[in-house]
């Protein structure tokens, strides 16, 4: 069973409780203005999240955490564009980031994406029961 509505009428804690107590598996889609976010659940537990907000990109997160410089990120993004490889794979391959640091960063970034949703006073949401992305690399819970 899916669920949809607006955060003004059903706030995020209520939605999360509904998903958790129902042991739901699927994806919660949230949208506010031009920002879209998704939270993936398995058995009512948050597994990962995604956002199209550029401020929440992996590259920006790594710069904020001082794990890479802007110049290193720029060069890695150019490689990503031409080679089609994942950013983390490029940074590890170039010796700029350790795999353990990448995993920690991906998890922290995913958590940050979820935490930011608690600040949304309004926005549309839809829970799609059973919908799971093909590749889930980072698990929060």
pLDDT by residue (tens digit) across 95-132?
999 999 999 998 898 899 999 999 999 999 999 999 99
Label residue 125 exposed, middle or buried (CB < 10 Å: 0-12, 13-18, 19+).
Answer: buried
Asked if residue 27 belongs to a domain, the reply is yes
Alpha carbon distance 69, 86 (integer Å): 18
- The larger pLDDT score, comparing residue 2 to residue 79, is at 79
pLDDT tens-digit profile of 47-79?
A: 888 999 999 999 999 999 999 999 999 999 999
Asked if residue 136 belongs to a domain, the reply is no
For the chain, the domain total comes to 1
Asked if residue 139 belongs to a domain, the reply is no
Question: Does pTM top 0.85 for this prediction?
Answer: no
Q: Assess contact for 127 and 2: CB atoms under 8 A.
A: yes
What Rg value do the Cα atoms of the chain yield, rounded? 16
Alpha carbon distance 77, 1 (integer Å): 40
Asked if residue 137 belongs to a domain, the reply is no
Six-digit token string for 53: 């907000």
* Domain ranges, residue 77: 3-129
């Amino acid at each position: 069973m899916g669920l949809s509505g607006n955060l003004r009428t059903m706030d995020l804690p209520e939605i999360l409780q509904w998903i958790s107590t129902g042991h739901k598996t699927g994806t919660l889609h949230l949208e506010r203005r031009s920002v879209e976010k998704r939270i993936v659940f398995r058995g009512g537990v948050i597994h990962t999240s995604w956002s199209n907000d550029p401020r929440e990109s992996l590259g920006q997160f790594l710069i904020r955490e001082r794990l890479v410089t802007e110049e290193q990120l720029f060069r890695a993004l150019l490689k990503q564009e031409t080679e089609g490889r994942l950013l983390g794979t490029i940074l590890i391959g170039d010796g700029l980031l350790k795999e353990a640091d990448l995993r920690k960063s991906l998890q922290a970034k995913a958590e940050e994406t979820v935490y930011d949703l608690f600040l949304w006073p309004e926005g549309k949401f839809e829970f799609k029961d059973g919908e799971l992305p093909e590749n889930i690399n980072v698990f929060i819970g």
